[in-house]
Amino acid sequence: MMKHPEWLKFMKEQYPPGTRIRLIEMNDPYSPVSPGTEGTVNFIDDQCQLHMDWDNGRTLAIIPGEDRFCVIPKQLHTLKLYMPLTVRLYEKNEWGDTENEPMVLDNRTALALENDILATLFKERMPQEAERGLMEYYDEYDSISRNVQSYVFTVEPLNGKLMGVAECRVHGELTAEELDLLKATIIGQAADGFGEGFEQRPIKTSAGEIYVSLWNGVNSWSIMTQEELEQGQKMGGMQLG
C-alpha cells in the first residue's frame, strides 16, 4: 500500500540516493542483515522502504518503523566562494577633515587593509550565529539545510588581490543545483542581509576611514569557487575584481 504522498516526499528528501546507512537491528526472522553493516541507499519505494546496496553485497531493504538504523554523517569540509570587494576610502585633507568624495580602491591596494576589514567582520557576528553562521537565518528544510553546516563572510588574498569570501562548512559534495542555490542564498545575504548593514559600518584605518561592500550591482560582479575562477581565467572569461 502506497504511503501518504507527503510522508513519501519527506522520506525521499531525508534519505536521498547515496545516503550512507549503518544498520543497528533488522527485524527479519529469516535472513536479516547483520547489525553494524553499512550500506548506501539506492531508492525509496512507494511503501517508504529503503532499498539498499549493502557493503557486503546484499540488497535487502530497510523497513522504517520495524528496522533500526542510523545515517552515517558525510565528511565535513570547507568550501570557499570568492567575490570581489568594493572598498571606498575617505581620506583626510591637509586640514585633517574627511574628504566628501571617496576613492575606490582596487583589490590589490586593498590588501594592506585586510586585518582591519577582518576585525570588523568578526565584530559583526552575532552570538546566535556561533554554530551555523548565517545559515542560522536559512528558513527552508531542504538539502541545503542538511548539507551546509554553516557559512560566514571573511576576506583573504587570492592571486595578489583581496577577495571577499563566503567560507562554508559542507557535508560531502554539493550537486550543481545545490551549489547554485547556496550561491543565491549567499548573494541575498551579501546584498540585502548581512552585507547591507556591514557596508554602512565605518572602518578606521591608518589610511583613513573605509567602507566595504561585499556585493555590487555591476555586471562584472560574480561569486565563484576557486576552481570556477581559475577555469574562467584560463578561458579568458570573467575575472573577480
Give pLDDT tens digits along the chain (241 positions). 556 788 898 898 889 898 999 999 999 888 899 999 999 999 999 999 999 999 999 999 999 989 999 999 888 999 999 999 999 998 876 666 666 788 999 989 999 999 999 999 999 999 999 999 999 999 988 889 989 999 999 999 998 999 999 999 998 889 999 999 999 999 999 999 999 999 999 999 888 899 999 998 887 789 999 999 888 766 665 444 4
CA-CA distances (angstroms) from residue 217 to 121, 181, 192? 21, 19, 12
Helices and strands (DSSP H and E) totals, the chain: 6, 12
Q: Which of 241, 203, 4 is nearest to 119 (CA)?
A: 203
**Torsions phi, psi for 185 (to 5 deg):** -65, -45
Whole-prediction pTM value? 0.75
Residue 94 carries which DSSP code?
A: T
Q: Which three cell numbers stand for residue 211?
A: 567602507
| Helix residue ranges, H only, 15-158 | 114-124, 143-147
Task: Determine the Cα–Cα distance for residues 228 and 85; give it in Å rounded to an integer.
Answer: 18
Query: Residue ranges of the domains in the chain?
Result: 5-71, 76-234
| The pLDDT value given to residue 71 | 93
Q: Which tens digit of pLDDT belongs to each residue from 153-185?
A: 999 999 899 999 999 999 888 999 999 999 999
| Class in CATH terms, 5-71 | mainly beta
The three grid cell numbers given for residue 99, joined into one nine-digit string: 574628504
| 82 class by beta-carbon count within 10 Å (0-12 exposed, 13-18 middle, 19+ buried) | buried
User: CB neighbours of 169 closer than 8 A, spacing ≥ 6?
Assistant: 76, 77, 78, 79, 148, 149, 150, 151
Euclidean distance between CA atoms 159 and 88, whole angstroms:
21
pLDDT value for 241: 44
